[in-house]
Structure 1
Amino acid sequence: MLAMRYGLTLPADYDMEIIRRRVATRGHLLDAWEGLGLKAYLVRERGVHGSPVNEYAPFYLWHTVAGMNRFLWEGPFQGIVDDFGRPSVRQWSGLACAAGVAAHSPARGAVLRLRRVPDGGLLADFMAETTRETERLAAEDGAVLAASAVDAGRWEVIHFSLWDSHLPKADGDTYEVLHLSAPGRDRLPG
């Protein structure tokens, strides 16, 4: 499993309805994308639920590199580049993914949290702790899915969780889910 994310921080006075319409008309394009586990179309608006910015920040879990590469080099990503410029695309190696207790509910909210892999100690112990944190999040009331992944170049872990409410029960940056494309969600590793 690979995690991927890019964020488009938009001007403070940006009309976020433009992003909402964009997702409403184009979100379905990845509903059957080969190699994609899921894509969460995430937004946060300045002043809503404590957000300091307007941001469009899609998050992906891929179960094949080929699917990710087709998306980036031959697929809909070109639309982002054409409309907003070329954002920095972050990638992480998957550590854990767990269906939540509300796995069959629609995802309304999401949380992203980055944290540094601490210096010292055994890496295996930290990764085991990260996996337990993923499982703990998935067991929370309202959790639809939880995942974690690591960027060993920056020694950083990302925690991603989907929730059946706009007010998730996890620490981190909170987003609204506008659409969820999940053609290969059942093929994501546990």
Structure 2
Amino acid sequence: MHAMQYDITLPADYDMEIIRKRVATRGHLLDDFPGLGLKAYLMREREDGSPVDQYAPFYLWAEPAGMHSFLWGPGFQGIVNDFGRPVVQHWTVLAYDEGPASSATPRGATRQRRPLPDGVPPAEAVTAELTRHARESAAEGVVARALAVDPRHWELLTFTLWADTAPEPQPQPVRDENVVTAGAVDRFQVLHLSVPGRRHLPHGRSW
């Protein structure tokens, strides 16, 4: 399973209603896209406390062929035509779980990216994060949660869908040098959720 996201940062005076209308009229086009587990159409705005106005769709791909079909097909070309070619970030999924609010339609999402510390065996850091993932997936209000890694930059990603508005990040306890340190939490609105293959996504760790 692969996670994928691209961030389209917009000018401060951009009318974000254009993004809402875009999703309202086009979001359904991926509701049955082969190989796609889920796509969350995400947006964040300065007026809600975000440092930027941004459109940032997030994907979980059940099959690599689906991801390729999207990136090299008309779907992604539409993004390129309208906004230019964004950097496409992608991560290998380590674990995915549904939360207590899995039946709800999510309204909010959070994303946290954190570097793995130098000098720590990757397996140790990942094992600790898998434990944290299992605990936080069971938190009240969680619809679904994914833990993923980019081994090129040694970066961990956690992505959570929430039944309600994404909660404010809570202070993290001080940890020793052998575990992943806390990073900034980005909060998003969920404008639409396409879930053609969500029911087939394997739960728990991916190996």
Structure 1 counterpart of 2:40, one-letter code: A
Q: Does the 8 Å contact 1:137/1:161 carry over to 2?
A: no
Matching residue of 1:109: 108
Q: Tell me which residue corresponds to 1:92.
A: 91
1:180 is aligned to 2:193: yes
Shift of 1:94: 0.7
Q: Percent identity between the aligned chains?
A: 54
Task: Give the TM-score normalised by structure 2.
Answer: 0.88
1:105-146 alpha-carbon deviations (Å, 9 max, x no partner)? 111000011000111222112111221222222111000000
Give a deviation string over 1:132-188, Cα, whole Å, max 9, x none.
222222111000000011100011011000001113365610000000001111222
Question: Residues 65-80 of structure 1 correspond to what in structure 2 (within 5 A)?
Answer: 65-80=64-79
Matches of residues 14-163 of structure 1 in structure 2 within 5 Å? 14-48=14-48, 50-163=49-162
Structure 1 residue ranges without an equivalent (≥5): none
* Residues 41-66 of structure 1: CA deviation (Å, up to 9, x unaligned): 00000130x21110000000001000
Which stretches of structure 1, 4 residues or longer, exceed 2 Å deviation after superposition?
Answer: 167-171
Q: Name the aligned partner's letter for residue 35 of structure 1.
A: G
Output one character per residue of 1:71-113: Cα deviation in whole Å (capped at 9) or x when no partner: 0001311110000000000110110100011000111000011
Residues 16-42 of structure 1, C-alpha deviations (whole Å, 9 max, x = no match): 000000000000010001100000000
**Structure 2 residue identity aligned to 1:109:** G
Contact 1:100 1:145 in 2 (8 A): yes
Partners in 1 of 2:169 and 2:63 — Cα distance?
A: 28
CA distance in 2, matches of 1:2, 1:68: 8
TM-score by length of 1: 0.96
Q: Give the conservation status (yes or no) of the 8 Å contact 2:110–2:166.
A: no
Larger Rg computed on CA atoms: 2
Gapped regions of structure 2 (runs ≥ 5): 171-184
Match of 2:2 in 1: 2
Could you tell me which residue of structure 1 aligns to residue 163 of structure 2? 164
Contact 1:36 1:184 in 2 (8 A): yes
